[in-house]
A and B are shown apart, each in its own frame.
Chain A
Amino acid sequence: MPKPYVTILGKAVRVASRLRGGGSALPGLVVERIDPGFIKATLATLPRGVVVISGTNGKTTTTKMVVELLESQGLKVFTNRTGSNFTRGVAAALLGEINLKGELKADIAVLELDEAHAVKFVKAIPPRYSLLLNVMRDQLDRFGEIDTTAKMLQIIGMSTTESVVLNREDRRIAKLQAYLPTQKVSFFGLSPKLVTLFPSDDDLHGSVVAANNLVADVELLNFDDDKAAFRLGKKKVITPLKLNGVYNIFNAAAALALVRAIIGDTIDEEKLVASLADVTPAFGRGETLTVHGQPIELVLVKNPSGFRLGLKSFKPSGYATMIAINDNYADGRDMSWLWDVDFESLQATGVDEVSGIRAYDMALRLRYDEVPVIAVNTDITKALKHFLATNKTKPKRIYCTYTAMLDIRRQLAKITNVESIA
């Protein structure tokens, strides 16, 4: 049990920092400094333990799905919903949920953690379950190499006490099974005809996708605009979905496999599938806002595989397109990744607006794919205004890096209803 004064102090900082409009992690940082055992002591009280979700792409949406699916099974779930996926973000989220005695009224914690932070976290708090989604080029300037990132995920798996769920279609993830002799391992995957939709970075320049013989507990069989077919164990289910984008739908397979591993044989499949049908994407992961009566979709892009999947998921015709690329620390400073994305699918419609600190890097990239660019402005506020004004009657889509997305949402909040993320 954490010391009561720490809880009270942390809660006070949380309220104060919210009044200031500050970030979601500050109060967590304060508590961590004062009582490093705070998170561990609080989470240790949960009857069904801790779940860690990590990987390069899809953590936030998958975590949101897992939480809602577990709630459909009658569990009370604690999560770091704000997307602040660092340890201090977990501490900050805990402060919002515990009472003044320091008790957390939940059955289970489902935590989204950045790979590097997850490694530190699991050393202090071994999770009962973990889900390892994928390892792609992302922020290599922070981690160095993909193989280094894969090692981090291996440590998360090895620190897990009960069950580990792995992506069968990502060869670096599937290989981790060999390091998990004492854990129960299950896989989620794709039907063979869908595999080519998800090229890994290794497959990008024409290598052949190697089939493997691992049996997946949950498989995405097929999908179209508003429904998907999954195989759960031996049973096939078809369900309508509010999620868009192939990657979100594949994440649903990951979430289903994890929830099946947690709940086991007593799972209520009917409620599970009904709840999946209701899940909406997490903020900035294909969320749709409305401006002047027209939909505007925000698609977060932070690495080549994510950008490629985004372009593949959303058809450009009939839409006005904007791309906003920042290179702040959280976005990654290296612009090389833009050259590993193929933009030829935008040739016919062109791109209406290019923005962000590195707008001209992006415009240059588009030039070499012979994609027409209508306007370039590094100032996101001005670019967004121009984009909205010149495309009034069209549905719109904005591909943006993380900090560009925060900026765009802030601007849009002035003119439409935007869900608060802090």
Chain B
Amino acid sequence: MTGRSITILQLYPLDMNIYGDYGNVLVLKRRLQWYGYEVNVLAYNVGDSFPDDVDIIIGGGGQDSGQVKIQADLMSIGPRLKQLADQNVPMLVICGLYQLFGKFFKTADGEVIQGIGLLDIETYGKSERLIGNVIVTSEQFGDIIGYENHSGQTYLGDDVKPLGEIQLGAGNNTESNTEGARYNNVIGSYLHGSILPKNPKLADFLIDRAVTNKYGVFYSEPIGDNFVNEARKIASKRPR
């Protein structure tokens, strides 16, 4: 299998990497290496030229000021990102970029920040900040364990499915019990933690999609998941 390589693109690591979102990139990189692939990690920041060949795209959360900084640039690469999503490229966007992958973010002051509309979601800024441990149940991934910290509340349209149902915490908003959104192989979520280390099924889903897109099939020897079951068990018993 030598010579097989996967390229991970991290969106806006300079402005949108708060809350350990780099952990998601690291987990994908290491697992791919352990599965026997070569890995290139690329960074895309404001003003960069968008790379031609990308297999997985990762984006994170940021300060409100970081979101303002990247918004115009994100709009300029929006059509390209949509095209990639429709080619089934796997993507994981957390918190701030989850919101901006949607149609818009309306702040508490009534200002409307346009998103790229890749995900059929709308987000409204609220005064209450939703903070704490989260457990989400998904048919495909089982229990997803993470941590949320956001004041935007997100509502899903008809073109997306939720990532899962909330067991503990708030998730998308305080009215429904959904968390996250999915479109093709794109996953948006509020979960930090980082999300992928304690949820290897989710990491392997992104890897499987990327490798299948590029090489037709993904098969591998198991790499073992030391510590992860204990870490999940303990995290799921911690207070909100």
Are B149 and A364 in contact (CB-based, < 8 A)? Answer: no
Are B132 and A364 in contact (CB-based, < 8 A)? Answer: no
CB of A147 within 8 A of chain B? yes
A177 to B36, CA, bound (A): 52
A113 to B6, CA, bound (A): 48
A370 to B147, CA, bound (A): 24
Q: With A141-B132, A147-B64 known to touch, is A337 a contact of B13 (CB < 8 Å)?
A: no
Chain A proximity of B126: nearest CB distance (Å):
13
Are A334 and B147 in contact (CB-based, < 8 A)? Answer: yes
Instruction: List 10 extra interface pairs beyond A334-B19, A367-B227, CB under 8 A.
Output: A334-B147, A334-B149, A336-B147, A338-B23, A340-B22, A357-B238, A358-B235, A361-B234, A363-B226, A365-B197
Q: A141, A145, A336: which contacts B63 (Cβ < 8 A)?
A: A145
CB of A5 within 8 A of chain B? no
Chain B proximity of A347: nearest CB distance (Å):
13
Q: B21, B64, B192, B231: which contacts A363 (Cβ < 8 A)?
A: B231
Are A340 and B20 in contact (CB-based, < 8 A)? Answer: yes
CB of B113 within 8 A of chain A? no
Are A364 and B231 in contact (CB-based, < 8 A)? Answer: yes
Are A141 and B194 in contact (CB-based, < 8 A)? Answer: no
Residue of A nearest to B18 (CB): A137
Contacts of B64 in A (CB 8 A): 145, 147
Q: Is the interface of B mostly helix, strand, loop or mixed?
A: mixed
- Can you identify 20 A-B contacts, CB atoms within 8 angstroms? A140-B149, A144-B129, A144-B131, A146-B18, A333-B132, A333-B133, A335-B193, A335-B235, A336-B20, A337-B20, A339-B23, A339-B194, A360-B234, A361-B234, A364-B197, A364-B198, A364-B226, A367-B227, A368-B23, A368-B30
Contacts of A254 in B (CB 8 A): none
Interface residues on A, range: 35 or more
Are A205 and B230 in contact (CB-based, < 8 A)? Answer: no
Are A360 and B20 in contact (CB-based, < 8 A)? Answer: no
CB of A327 within 8 A of chain B? yes
Contacts of A141 in B (CB 8 A): 131-132, 147, 149
Chain B proximity of A169: nearest CB distance (Å):
18
A205 to B194, CA, bound (A): 16
Contacts of B235 in A (CB 8 A): 335, 358, 361
Chain B proximity of A103: nearest CB distance (Å):
44
Chain B proximity of A364: nearest CB distance (Å):
4
Contacts of B39 in A (CB 8 A): none
